[in-house]
Amino acid sequence: MIGLAILFLIIAIVAAIFGFFGIVSALVGVAKVLFFVFLILFILSLIFGRRRSS
């Protein structure tokens, strides 16, 4: 349980550093592109995974 607390603390510190120094604004475009790429890959894996099991 303490391990999860430490993990969330580290994630919060990294997010704060990104937020305070304005790095987030540069990464928003990258995050949007990655979101759509992984969404398409997820849909393709659902389609081809379902076809293979039939």
- Report pLDDT for 52: 64
- Report pLDDT for 54: 55
Q: Is residue 53 part of a domain?
A: yes
Q: Is residue 13 part of a domain?
A: no
Q: Is residue 51 part of a domain?
A: yes
Number of domains in the chain: 1
- Report pLDDT for 42: 92
Low pLDDT (below 50) residues in the chain: none
- Which residue range forms the structural domain that includes residue 43? 25-54
Amino acid, single-letter form, for residue 14: V
Beta strands in 1-54 (DSSP E): none
Q: Is residue 5 part of a domain?
A: no
